[in-house]
Each structure stands twice: as structure tokens, then as C-alpha cells.
């Protein structure tokens, strides 16, 4: 397969001044040969393989591995303490928000004990000032569901107890068909 190339250059006249000056600066500063020569000179600076390997080790960071043991622990500890402090503050904020949410759920369930877990979760998500959206990704929803279940148990009202009544003790169906106001009018 033979490829034939055409020697064509496209040129456009631009009316934007900064583009023209940018293009001129690129042409001026594009000294490819001197850049290439400096790169090639750096490659030839090493007189032995050991020097080249030492340079590669310093570029890769192997020097730092030797000096890690000699680094004082005070810098590491202070950085770690600051990091731990930030984590503790964040965890405290999350815990405070979670307490507020659980208190809110407690009040909500005491007012409406007939709702389910999904309704409560949706209600918490929709409340703008509760902060549920900020901590929802950090929550273990299984544990939250168990906590809400415990809250339900505390506020659950016992339903009326169902008792079996024998048919012999029940009034006959004929007596039950007449309304009370009519049965009072009947004599006998």
C-alpha cells in the first residue's frame, strides 16, 4: 500500500489580538533543538552505571526510605493528633446530629404510633433542618431500623384483646335484625 501525502498548509486570518500574539510567542519560544540537546546532555552526564542507578534511585524516592527511621516522631505524632482531632470533631458532630434525629423520631412516633419505618425515614429525609442528609451515608441502616423498632415498642399501644364468644352465648340473628328503637316500641 502506498501513501501519498500532499504538502498543504492551512492559514486563517484571525482578528483576535491575543490569539495572534500567542501564536507568535509559540513560534518564538519553540526552540526544539536546544531542548532536545539539553535532554540528551543530561542522559550522557553519567560516567558509570552506578551513577545512573544512584540518580534513578533518588528520582524514585529510595533515599527517603533510608531516612524514614531517622525522622523524629514528634512531627508524625503532631500531625496524627491533628488528624485524630479532626476525626473526633467530625464524629462528635455526627453523633450530635444522630441524637437530634433519634429525639425527633421519638417525638414523631409518640404522636403517630401507627406509622412504619419507611414513613419515618422519608419524613426525616424531607425535614430540611434535621441534617439527616448529611449523615445518611455514614449510617448503618440495619442498626437504625433496630433503634426505631425499639422506639416503636416503647410507644406501642396495646390493641384491644380479641376474645372468642361461643355461638350459644351470642344472641340469635333474628333478635339482632330489629333496630333498637323499633324493639322498644314493640310490646311483649
The answer as to whether 57 is a domain residue is: no
The answer as to whether 59 is a domain residue is: no
pLDDT digits (tens, 9 = 90+) for 137-163: 888 888 888 888 888 888 776 556 667
Q: What is the DSSP string of 57-112?
A: HHHHTHHHHHHTTTS-HHHHHHHHHHHHHHHHHHHHHHHHHHHHHHHHHHHHHHH-
The answer as to whether 93 is a domain residue is: yes
The answer as to whether 117 is a domain residue is: yes
| Domain count for the chain | 1
pLDDT digits (tens, 9 = 90+) for 10-45: 676 777 888 888 888 877 777 777 777 777 776 666
pLDDT digits (tens, 9 = 90+) for 87-102: 777 888 888 888 888 8
Q: What is the DSSP string of 97-145?
A: HHHHHHHHHHHHHHH-TT--HHHHHHHHHH-TTS-HHHHGGGS-HHHHH
SS3 28: helix
Q: What percent of the chain has pLDDT over 90?
A: 0
The answer as to whether 168 is a domain residue is: no
What is the C-alpha to C-alpha distance for residues 125 and 119, in angstroms, rounded to an integer?
10
**Vertex 121 angle, CA 86 and 107, to 5°:** 90
The answer as to whether 18 is a domain residue is: no
The answer as to whether 29 is a domain residue is: no
Amino acid at each position: 500500500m502506498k501513501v501519498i501525502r500532499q504538502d498543504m498548509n492551512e492559514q486563517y486570518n484571525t482578528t483576535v489580538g491575543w490569539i495572534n500574539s500567542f501564536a507568535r510567542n509559540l513560534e518564538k519560544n519553540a526552540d526544539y533543538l536546544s531542548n532536545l540537546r539539553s535532554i540528551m546532555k543530561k542522559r550522557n552526564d553519567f560516567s558509570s552505571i552506578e551513577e545512573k542507578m544512584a540518580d534513578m534511585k533518588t528520582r524514585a524516592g529510595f533515599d527517603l526510605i533510608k531516612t524514614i527511621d531517622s525522622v523524629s516522631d514528634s512531627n508524625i505524632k503532631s500531625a496524627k493528633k491533628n488528624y485524630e482531632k479532626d476525626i473526633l470533631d467530625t464524629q462528635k458532630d455526627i453523633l450530635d446530629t444522630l441524637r437530634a434525629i433519634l429525639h425527633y423520631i421519638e417525638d414523631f412516633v409518640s404522636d403517630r404510633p401507627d406509622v412504619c419505618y419507611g414513613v419515618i425515614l422519608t419524613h426525616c429525609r424531607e425535614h430540611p433542618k434535621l441534617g439527616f442528609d448529611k449523615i445518611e451515608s455514614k449510617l448503618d441502616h440495619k442498626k437504625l431500623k433496630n433503634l426505631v423498632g425499639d422506639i416503636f415498642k416503647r410507644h406501642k399501644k396495646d390493641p384491644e384483646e380479641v376474645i372468642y364468644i361461643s355461638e350459644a352465648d351470642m344472641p340469635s340473628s333474628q333478635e339482632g335484625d330489629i333496630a333498637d328503637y323499633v324493639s322498644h316500641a314493640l310490646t311483649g
